[in-house]
Amino acid sequence: MKAAIHQLQYWPGLRFFAKMRASELFIYLDDVQFEKREFQNRNRIRTPRGWQYLTAPVVSKGRFSQKINEVELDNSADWRADHLQAVKLNYARAPFFREHLPALEALYARDYRLLADLAIATMDFLKDGFGIKTPVRFSSEFKVEEASSARLARLCAAAGADEYLSGAGAKAYLDPNVFGYAGIKLSWQHFEPRPYPQAFPGFEPDMSALDLLLNCGPKAAEWL
């Protein structure tokens, strides 16, 4: 069984779902340290001027070593209304915006205390929109204590996988020997983003996968 593993993200991008679609089991890495200014609580949407971040505010002061599944959202301001309005404003002309608007409104109408719950809601929204059937589990289920490459190999073994599909960017730090010792085949994702129709002239790569879904609808998975 081929497994892939990735940290929880808010409105993840195309590489995330391409890897999920190519695997037989996808493990959400939810019990590792939260990293500020990464993509765990933000991603990019297309605008007439290029792109902008949607960033979910989190409580981080004095919480330097908290895990992703422990991070609380800062709900002192109505960021959910702001994010929904940004999506409405920038995707009103997208061909499949109206089709997905009720579900988007329902998503942003919920109360979220934890970043993990918000991230899972957006990942489920996109997973269903792309018709991806890959089963998912959470790394916290397995109580693995190792770090880095050893953690990933151990998670694969604990989940019953004999192959690990990794993003190509991890070649800089993954240790292939660790997977070999564990009897896990290490495979690399080969994903090259291809231009697809967007709501504004030109093409901006590396947007949230929400951009692809709202612009391309049922055919969106062809770009994954």
194-205: pLDDT as tens digits? 999 999 999 999
The dihedrals phi and psi of 222, each to the nearest 5 degrees, come to -65, -20
Largest CA distance in the chain: 52
Q: Is the pLDDT of residue 63 over 80?
A: no
Q: Is the pLDDT of residue 64 over 90?
A: no
Kindly report, residue by residue over 90-139, the tens digit of the pLDDT. 999 999 999 999 999 999 999 999 999 999 999 999 999 999 999 999 99
Q: CA-to-CA distance for 51 and 11, rounded, in angstroms?
A: 14
What is the reported pTM? 0.95
Per the CB < 8 A criterion, the answer to whether 72 and 59 are in contact is yes
Q: Is the pLDDT of residue 24 over 90?
A: yes
| CA torsion through residues 208, 53, 10, 1, sign | positive
Q: CA-to-CA distance for 38 and 43, rounded, in angstroms?
A: 9
SS in 3 state form for 23-85?
Answer: CCEEEEECCCECCCCCCCCEEEEEECCEEEEEECCECCCCCCCCEHHHCEECCCCCHHHHHHH
What are the structural domain ranges in the chain?
2-223
The pLDDT, as a whole number, for residue 147 is 86
The pLDDT, as a whole number, for residue 43 is 98
Which helix (H) or strand (E) segment holds residue 104: the answer is helix 97-109
The pLDDT, as a whole number, for residue 153 is 97
Mean pLDDT of 202-220: 97
Where residue 217 falls among pLDDT bands split at 50, 70, 90? Answer: very high
The pLDDT, as a whole number, for residue 37 is 82
Which helix (H) or strand (E) segment holds residue 178: the answer is helix 176-181
The pLDDT, as a whole number, for residue 107 is 98
Kindly report, residue by residue over 138-196, the tens digit of the pLDDT. 999 999 988 899 999 999 999 999 999 999 999 989 999 999 999 999 999 999 999 99
Where residue 62 falls among pLDDT bands split at 50, 70, 90? Answer: confident
The pLDDT, as a whole number, for residue 184 is 97
Q: Which residue has tokens 């070999």?
A: 180
Radius of gyration in angstroms for the set of CA atoms belonging to the chain, rounded to a whole number? 18
Q: Is the pLDDT of residue 60 over 90?
A: no
Q: Is the pLDDT of residue 39 over 90?
A: yes
